[in-house]
């Protein structure tokens, strides 16, 4: 019987794959059968071990998505290694915290470059490869609760993640007819490097947990099912969705 969630034979690119959400998604895709290209600024050795332990191949690519310079090389290396590209997970992201009244232009530009600009241009290069392959494929952008809400002290992050949601919808409108699915996952409050400051603040952590119906911070493993679904043939008629995986945060 055909398993619509089976990713055997697929090649997935995951950015920001060294830790946290990117690592969790890379491992989940491997367990579903995909070979994985892990893109990160730092070592992806731990992710590589987990993917190989799941019986899949892993290609590490060191790249800094603060600029668009590495983008075409990521696609070229992927195709040279795996023969194709099928899935792109745009997870790489950074955050800067400061009151809006004091926020610097550098902190604005740094965040928008990684979180939004590179997402668009990597998606563009990936889609061009899919059209060349005539195979269709899946793009999953990592959005945020800040795609829906304002937040505080993170103006460039909120702007970037609101932009990711809008970009997801636009690309879905343009590329659905080309057999390219573009969707997003909006994680709630997860245990990652970006939330370390919040988790270290007892008052903020308690306030956040008090609003999450599930009563806990998310772990990267909690995103695996959503990522596999949006990467698989089970989601072939799903386009432009921003799927919250948030322990119920938005419904409180």
Q: SS3 string of 9-58? A: CCEEEEECCCCHHHHHHHHHHHHCCCEEEEEECCCCHHHHHHHHHCCCCE
Q: Is 130 among the domain residues?
A: yes
Q: Is 4 among the domain residues?
A: no
DSSP state of 243: E
Q: Give the chain's residues under pLDDT 50.
A: none
Strand runs (DSSP E) across the chain, as ranges?
11-15, 35-40, 58-62, 87-90, 137-142, 180-187, 242-245
Give the chain's domain count: 1
Q: Is 220 among the domain residues?
A: yes
Give the per-residue pLDDT at 192.
86
Q: Is 6 among the domain residues?
A: no
Q: Is 2 among the domain residues?
A: no
DSSP state of 218: B
Range 17-21 contact pairs with CB under 8 angstroms and sequence separation of 24 or more: 17/44, 17/47, 17/91, 18/42, 18/43, 18/44, 18/46, 18/47, 19/46, 19/192, 19/193, 20/190, 20/191, 20/192, 20/193, 20/194, 20/220, 21/91, 21/142, 21/187, 21/190, 21/192, 21/220, 21/223
Q: Give the domain extent around 51.
A: 11-247
Q: Is 158 among the domain residues?
A: yes
Q: Cβ(43)–Cβ(119) under 8 Å?
A: no
Residue 201, domain CATH: 3.40.50.720
For the annotated catalytic residues, the residue numbers are 157
Q: Is 3 among the domain residues?
A: no
Q: Is 133 among the domain residues?
A: yes
């Amino acid at each position: 019987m055909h398993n619509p969630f089976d990713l055997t034979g697929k090649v997935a690119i995951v950015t920001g794959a060294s830790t946290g959400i990117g690592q969790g998604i890379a491992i989940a895709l491997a367990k579903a059968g995909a070979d994985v290209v892990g893109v990160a600024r730092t070592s992806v050795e731990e992710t590589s071990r987990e993917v190989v332990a799941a019986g899949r191949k892993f290609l590490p690519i060191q790249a800094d998505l603060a600029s668009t310079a590495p983008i075409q090389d990521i696609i070229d290396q992927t195709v040279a290694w795996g023969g194709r590209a099928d899935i792109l997970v745009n997870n790489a992201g950074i955050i800067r915290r400061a009151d809006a009244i004091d926020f610097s232009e550098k902190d604005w530009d740094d965040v928008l470059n990684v979180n939004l600009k590179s997402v668009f241009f990597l998606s563009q290069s990936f889609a061009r490869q899919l059209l060349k392959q005539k195979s269709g494929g899946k793009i999953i952008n990592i959005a945020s609760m800040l795609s829906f809400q304002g937040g505080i002290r993170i103006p460039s992050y909120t702007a970037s993640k609101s932009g990711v949601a809008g970009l997801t919808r636009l690309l879905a409108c343009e590329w659905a007819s080309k057999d390219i699915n573009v969707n997003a996952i909006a994680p709630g409050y997860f245990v990652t490097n970006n939330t370390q400051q919040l988790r270290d603040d007892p008052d903020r952590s308690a306030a956040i947990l008090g609003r999450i119906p599930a009563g806990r911070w998310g772990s990267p493993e909690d995103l695996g099912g959503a990522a596999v679904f949006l990467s698989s043939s089970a989601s072939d008629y799903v386009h432009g969705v921003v799927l919250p995986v948030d322990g119920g945060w938005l419904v409180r």
